[in-house]
Chain A
Amino acid sequence: MSRIPVSALIGLVMTGAFFFTAIFAQWLAPYGLNEAVGDVWENPFWSSEPSQYLLGTDNIGRDLLSRMIYGCQITILLATASSAVAFLTGSILGFTAAVVGGWVDQALSRLVDLFMSLPSLILALVILSVLNVTLPVLILVMGLLDSTRVYRLARAVAVDIVVMDYVEAARLRGERTGWIIFREILPNALSPLVAELGLRFIFAVLFISTLSFLGLGVQPPLADWGGMVKENKDGLVYGISAALVPAIAIAVLAISVNLVADWILNRTTSLKGGRNG
């Protein structure tokens, strides 16, 4: 923990700021989420005639800053929850497949292959278009689709660990599968999984934004950043930058989380276990 590179430090600070905003959105936002406060598309602070609203207003006169702050909450909530779902299901199933092996491994792996052979965006669009889109449904659909990637990684890492002598020693001792997964394999597989968690979180942010942009993600009156790009995209034609604000926010969040994930990956690959890992 002693030597944190500058890039990771920047990533940590910015990621922290995003999460802080998400958690305290209700107190930070100057106006309500759906409160129409001014004219349509009022100017932000960097234009030649700035309005009283810091980031201007959106396509129906709502304060963009407030909406950005609430959008941050929804986006991060969805991405976090769906990554958690993806990791829990993906890694537990992946480890089980590696430890148990045989037909369990075959059945799970082929099922995952089947899902991975379909483009996940199209699959999500099809599923969401027939379901009533609520937040839990979104979280489950995104989480389960993403869990196939986590499964692959978890199984690949665990297969290498399962053949180690210490796992054999645990088996000879008579340990149950649960102990072998959580006490022998998980601690050794954690580093690549944590790094993957960072990457998966970014993909989840992009995925939810894409879905919302296409109109199948977060539904009004709630709003996330992807939905806000969609609402304001018509303004681009008239030189109004409101759509760029959420777009930039998505990019900045993705980059800052990526900086942290990179650092974790670098830090853990150079260690052979033991302390600090």
Chain B
Amino acid sequence: MLRCGHKQTGLRYLWLALFSVVLGMALSVAMRVQMARAGSSPASEHYAVVTLLHGSLMVFFVLTSAPQFGFGYFFLPLQIGANEMALPLLSGLSFWLTLAALVGIAGSSLLPLRLGMEVWLFAVICFCFAAILSSVNFCTTVTDARTYGMTLTRLPLTVWAWYVTAVLSLLIFGILLAACALLTSDWFFGTQFFAGGQVHSNVALAALWQRWFWFFAQAEVYAAMLPCFGIVSHLIATFARRPVFAERAAVLALCGVGVVGFCVWGLHMFSSALNPYSPLVFAQLAGSLGIPASVLLASWLLTLWGSEVRLTTAMLFAVGFISLFLTGGLSGLFLASRDVAVAAASTDFVTGHFHLVMGVAATFAILGALFFWFPKLFGRPMNETLGKTHFWITFAGVYCIFMPMHWLGLLDRARGGVPGVSAGGAARTFITTAAMITIAAQVIFLVNFLSSVWRKEPSTNRNPWHATTLEWFLPSPVPADDFGNRPPCIYRSAYMYGERLGGLDFLPQHVSPEQLAKLR
């Protein structure tokens, strides 16, 4: 049961993410309704539990799991020409640990407060182990399981992104695990590392927890975003029919995001007990994240420039991702500067910022990847008309939800941020209405997804997008033994578009020059 094939593991992770996102969205509806009734964020214990559950589900089981473990487990071996992950035992083990974590986190909300917190802690520990095991598996697979000719420079950007994310996850989940170990010791063995679990009883000790938590959490944002960057680069090149502009710079940018993202952990701790000079350092580091982000953005835009874009649903979601990433990233610049952050950042501003840049943008990349790879996952494509309808309603909806939140945040701060008194009642009603419509529109996606999964229709085309990477040249759905007992050979980079081959405009990675000569 533990030893599990990579395709099965990937699909299981995707189903788990789908369940989590539906549950998480239902919770967000409950929160908006509660806020609409109370007029602001209610201070009740139940509201806090629902918020924690919503955040935990979305961060751990959707944003972390779907792009990295869901698509990664399924497509990483296929894209590098391997038949299986390097360590299949770890694939199965990490999935079951993730499932245990999901059950624990969801169940913890139904338990009495103290017991619920303890169960939540153990569930997070389970997830840390799962993430570390998966990361070891990913790193080993990319390092040692690449097929003939699959040099580092020929790796698709998706693989690079999964690789860098695995290294980052390896480090940051180790940090969270250590922090959880100390907290477990406090709660169950009576030690005093965080003042006996009463985190708020001592400012210095609370700061210690804050440091470890943010060391993880700040980098976790990039661990969630990095696979999305890779996916978006891949989709844009495929549907723009152009090689990725400055592909090596894009790879370096992915690595740069990973390295700098790991170092900016003190960014949001301006008012805690850190060295007074530290905000200067962290603000500079956070600002320097703009360099790799700009390189990626330039690469995407210049790949698109002058190209004959195929506006499939997957491509729409990729372009939507760029829009949301840019918008959310701009508000992030405000938060990266200490003075501006202190003056402008209130709960609503921060909520609007991170939902746009981390939550929604990443979800768009996940949806883009799903529409793109669906034929390979299930043997037939999703409905494009329903997909595009779903995209446009969601795209407009998320802007209507999260842009006014920035404004509300500024308004709250301008009025002095008096607790319990919230400004912009009409705007809040508008946000709640937009949230309801946007969430209702997800029914279109669910109908499209489920009907496509269950539709009994044999696949006719193994490469509907005319993509170059290896997975598209295997039958759909992919056979159990992938490439069988003869691994493929790679002769060129992953983005050879625009090269004429008969009536086609791409060169597959694996076709040898001799074969090409025959085809030409």
* Interaction A to B: no
Interface residue ranges, A against B (CB under 8 Å)? none
Interface set of B (CB-CB < 8 Å, partner A): none
